[in-house]
């Protein structure tokens, strides 16, 4: 598996470029800004990007989605419950983030959907609590955890108008993520990678 992390946008969100070594096809997870930087890396890796997956609708994870789509022809996928938050400019204004929503996502995701990239396969895990339609992507020994689970922390839950809810995120993590194998490597939406085992043992919120 080809895997490249780029920190993008004003909040330094993690954008991941994931590719199949054999077929040279790929996906982009959370193109949150700096479209030129993302597109440059895609060219360096010589990948044909088929899918753009948004772990949730917050501006720091989606701001370059339209540009990456028009440059690559990839389809944009997001959970149905986060389309509204993506299209609400209040949150972007609140954090001083560029407002550049996707008007019509190509794919509306739900729990259990699978996303195939060449020979790679990932499963959508719906993990509400940071936002209503937040998802993680699980497969190939790794978990892309968006803003649900971080190295030593969890996503903020104070944005209640958009689905932030502490008990809901804790429930999502406990019932859907901590049930995964300890060895699974976690790539979060901000900050360094971790593992399920390290978070199970050391995350003060869990
Ligand atoms: Zn977020
Ligand atoms: Zn974020």
The Å distance, Cα 153 to ligand 1 centre, comes to: 13
Our count of domains for the chain comes to: 1
Tokens 């996707």 belong to residue: 102
Q: CATH number of the domain at 135, please.
A: 3.60.15.10
The C-alpha atoms of residue 186 and residue 164 are separated, in whole angstroms, by 22
The Å distance, Cα 66 to ligand 2 centre, comes to: 18
The Å distance, Cα 59 to ligand 1 centre, comes to: 8
Angle of CA points 34, 85, 57, to nearest 5°: 40
- Tens of pLDDT, residue by residue over 141-154, are 999 999 999 999 99
Q: Please tell me the number of the ligand nearest to residue 190's CA.
A: 2
The Å distance, Cα 56 to ligand 1 centre, comes to: 7
- Tens of pLDDT, residue by residue over 61-92, are 999 999 999 999 999 999 999 999 999 999 99
Q: Please tell me the number of the ligand nearest to residue 131's CA.
A: 1
- Tens of pLDDT, residue by residue over 172-183, are 999 999 999 999
The Å distance, Cα 84 to ligand 1 centre, comes to: 14
- Strands 153-154 and 185-188, by their bridges, are unpaired
- Among candidates 10, 66, 15, 13, which has minimal Cα distance to 38? 15
Q: Look at the pTM and tell me if it is higher than 0.85.
A: yes
Angle between helices 65-72 and 35-45 (to 10 degrees): 40
Q: Could you say which residues of the chain have pLDDT below 50?
A: none
The Å distance, Cα 23 to ligand 1 centre, comes to: 32
Give the range of the structural domain holding residue 26, as residue numbers without chain letter. 2-202
């Amino acid at each position: 598996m080809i895997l490249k992390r780029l920190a993008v946008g004003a909040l330094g969100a993690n954008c991941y470029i994931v590719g199949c070594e054999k077929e040279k096809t790929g996906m982009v997870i959370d193109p949150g800004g700096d479209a030129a930087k993302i597109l440059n890396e895609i060219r360096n890796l010589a990948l044909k990007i088929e899918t753009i997956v948004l772990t949730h609708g917050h501006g720091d994870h989606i701001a370059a989605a339209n540009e990456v789509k028009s440059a690559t022809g990839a389809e944009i996928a997001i959970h149905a419950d986060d389309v509204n938050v993506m299209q609400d400019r209040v949150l972007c204004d609140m954090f001083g983030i560029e407002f550049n929503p996707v008007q019509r996502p190509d794919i509306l995701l739900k729990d259990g959907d699978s996303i195939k990239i060449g020979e790679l396969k990932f499963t959508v895990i719906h993990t509400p609590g940071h936002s209503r339609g937040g998802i993680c992507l699980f497969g190939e020994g790794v978990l892309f955890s968006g803003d649900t689970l971080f190295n030593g922390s969890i996503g903020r839950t104070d944005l209640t108008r958009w689905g932030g809810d502490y008990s809901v995120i804790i429930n999502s993590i406990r019932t859907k993520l901590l049930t995964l194998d300890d060895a699974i490597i976690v790539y979060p939406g901000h900050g360094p990678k971790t593992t399920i085992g390290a978070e199970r043992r050391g995350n003060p919120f869990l």
